[in-house]
Amino acid sequence: MFWAVTATTAVDAEEKRFTLHADPALVETGLIKFLLPRFSMKTNTRITLSDTAEAGAAQLVPDGAGGQEVLASGAQVWSLSVPEGDTHAARFADWLTSDIGKRTIASFTPESGPGFTAAADRPVETVALDLSRDTTEGVSLSLVHCGRCHVIGPQNRHNSIGSTPSFGLLRSFENWQERFETFYVLNPHPAFTQIDEVTAPFDPGLPSPIHPLSMTLEELDEILAYVATMTPANLGAPIRHQ
């Protein structure tokens, strides 16, 4: 199959062009036929749509390895890979991820199936914590890894750093789960925290200022399961201004 969107002048068509191979299932939805003329009209770029993944063509495929995620529909994501040095295909990638590109994607209504969004705007799935699991291990790990700075509970109420928030206080925040899941990138933790197979080793020139905290993602999951069962700290009624 050969399909092209032509520019307004022959000169521009010769100077601005690239070949795109798109996922046949994506083409079938009509989205590609909807997007390409709009991009071409704005940029005077000729786009040749190819059935095959020929050399030198940009690739818009499901979960493309090494590509940039640009489209999503339900749980499916499509990535765009641009040949090195192809400035026109790169401009198409920039357009797809721009505000106007995102609005254009979202405005397309397929004849059947879910609609499309920019990949960056797709809903983020949250993983529900299993509150039925035994949290004994989570309590122990919290005390070992976090108890030297944070109050975990009555067990270490007098052995923590008073200026750090307690687990009960942290649990009262609306985004407590996100805070715990990503604590190792929130200051001051990066300076002394290592998560196996996640964080990079300490810079030899910037060693940990204290005894390093080292844990696995499985251990962090146990701590999360424990914190999920905690009663949030009662901070009292909001301050009322006269």
On whether both 86 and 36 belong to a single domain, the answer is yes
113 and 17 belong to one structural domain: yes
Total domains, the chain: 2
Say yes or no: 102 and 79 in one domain: yes
Shared domain check, 66 and 151 = no
Q: Are 194 and 213 in contact (CB under 8 A)?
A: yes
The CATH number of the domain where 96 resides is what?
A: 3.40.190.10
Q: Is the pLDDT of residue 35 over 50?
A: yes
Q: Tokens representing 31?
A: 């989205």
146 and 105 within one domain: no
**146: in domain:** yes
- Domain-terminating residue out of 121, 152, 175: 121
72 and 38 in one domain?
Answer: yes
What was the pLDDT predicted at 10? 45
Query: Which residue range is the domain that position 216 belongs to?
Result: 136-228
Report if residue 31 sits inside a domain: yes
68-83 pLDDT, tens digit each = 999 999 888 999 999 9
Phi, psi dihedral angles at 116 (to 5 degrees): -120, 150
Report whether pLDDT(54) > 90: no
Alpha-carbon distances of 95 from 13, 88, 90, rounded to whole Å: 18, 11, 9
> Is 239 contained in some domain?
no
In a domain, 105, yes or no: yes
Contacts for 178 with CB less than 8 Å, ≥ 6 apart: none
Same domain as 162, residue 88: no
The pLDDT of 130-144, averaged and rounded, is 85
Query: Does residue 128 fall inside a structural domain?
Result: no
65 found inside a domain = yes
**pLDDT over threshold 70, residue 237:** no
d(CA 146, CA 184): 12
Do 46 and 5 touch, CB atoms closer than 8 A? yes
Give the pLDDT band of residue 129 (cuts 50, 70, 90): low
Express each pLDDT in 181-230 by its tens digit: 999 999 999 999 999 989 989 998 989 999 999 999 999 999 999 999 99
Question: 53, 87, 121: which is the final residue of a domain?
Answer: 121
For residue 240, is it within any domain? no
Same domain, 17 and 102: yes
Q: Give the type of residue at 230.
A: M
Residues 117, 152 within the same domain: no
pLDDT tier at 236, thresholds 50, 70, 90: low
Is 130 part of any domain? no
